Amino acid sequence: MTAPTTATDVNQPSLQPAAPTGRRLSLPVLMLVIAGALALTSLVRLITGADGITNVSQMSTALQLAVPIGLAGLGGLWAERAGVVNIGLEGMMILGTWFGAWAGFQWGPWTGVLVGIVGGCLGGLLHAIVTITFNVNHIVSGVAINILALGATRYLAPLAFEGHQGGSAKQSPPVESLGHFTVPGLSDGLVSLNDKGWFLISDIAGLLGGLVTNVSWLTLIAVALIPATWWILWRTPFGLRLRSCGENPVAAESLGVNVYKYKYLAVIISGGLAGLGGVFLSIVANPFYLEGQTSGRGYIGLAAMIFGNWMPGGLAIGAGLFGYTDSLNLRGGSANVHALLLLGALLLVAGAIWLAIRKKYVQAAVTFLVGALVFAWYAGTDDVPNQVVSATPYVVTLVVLALSAQRLRMPRANGMPYRKGQGK
């Protein structure tokens, strides 16, 4: 792929993307952080008696809610690693929900999955044409696609669904289920262990039980796409060329990479993944299309991608976090959110101690003050308003992005205009 290095070409641009600046957590350290968070959560559960925050049903619901967010985030990852900002993920998800349900109720759910992916790809193709070929601002194009997708589905829904049993101007007829699976024996054992209420062990059992109980086949596919994305983008020549288009397209072109082709492929794949997230909403989460059912998940997926520092593993953690907070709306939300106030206060105090150790005294003082205020809120109330419960996923999105902003590094050419021939 690269020419032999000689004394005359040492100053030529390299295809290899620049390494991210800043320190990255190693896998052992990351596992210790996750284990510490689980232990702290278990401690909060024992203190508050809010067993619902880590039971199997809660974790199963959290996984189901995390999948569409994770798929939207994966879509954003593919596009932005190639240098194209994809604010249009929400619109591509909307197209996926509509096309998936439209094909699903007529020809079966798996056909709906394929057609929904195609619907998302069409949104991605439009975004690619506008941003790559015509160099329109990526944000403007993405917002336009979101508006266009919403308007198009509102126009098409009455034409496609009215007159069918169960269909209306805002809802499709029911779609047949894709099916679910539960790992026999293991699921029952983990549920039993979770019911014991033991410190940490029962919480880990609840987490694992949610992964093997009543899981959709589409969930399994979505989870498998995370390591598949990592392997393709970081372990294959194709992935190296694609990522180089997002880091330095001029250098990539000078070394023979067809930058336009890789950008187009990345954005179309991005749309397909977002469309698959929409299919999940209209076939798995609900067995029908419903106007407005994406509820901003495309934007939250984009936030999960940024939180994950444009890496699949970090994205998965972010999607899981946002899916978990969203699940609080469905299962004992008020009591669980009140218990999580204590968890948030403890995490903020731990963060303040860490900042003080690193001699960042001003940040440590501010973090400790916020933690004290959150603890006062927890100690002074027995419940939280339903409005706070509903807003929790979005508040967590903002807080997490604010706290992680200093360690983030997007691809260097992300969102920058590019014209063919710049590298010649």
| Domain range list for the chain | 54-203+210-311, 328-408
From the number of C-beta atoms within 10 Å of its C-beta (0-12, 13-18, 19+), residue 358 rates as exposed
Q: Three-state DSSP class for 181?
A: strand
Rounded to the nearest 10°, the torsion over CA 185, 191, 195, 197 is 100
In CATH terms, the fold of domain 54-203+210-311 is: ABC transporter involved in vitamin B12 uptake, BtuC (1.10.3470)
Tokens of 195: 């019911």
How confident is the prediction along the chain (424 residues), in pLDDT tens digits per residue? 444 443 334 344 445 544 444 455 666 777 887 888 889 899 999 998 888 888 898 899 999 999 999 999 999 999 999 999 999 999 999 999 999 999 999 999 999 999 999 999 999 999 999 999 999 999 999 999 999 999 999 999 999 999 899 999 999 999 999 988 888 888 989 999 999 989 899 999 999 999 898 899 999 999 999 999 999 999 999 999 999 999 999 999 999 999 999 999 999 999 999 999 999 999 999 999 999 999 899 999 999 999 889 999 989 988 998 898 888 777 666 778 888 889 889 988 988 898 899 888 998 898 899 899 999 999 998 888 877 777 777 777 777 777 666 678 899 999 998 888 765 5
Tokens of 395: 């508040």
Report the DSSP beta bridge partners of residue 216: 180
pTM of the predicted model as reported, rounded to 2 decimal places: 0.90
H/E segment holding residue 180: strand 180-181
H/E segment holding residue 215: strand 215-216
**Which of 47, 32, 52 is CA-nearest to residue 199?**
47
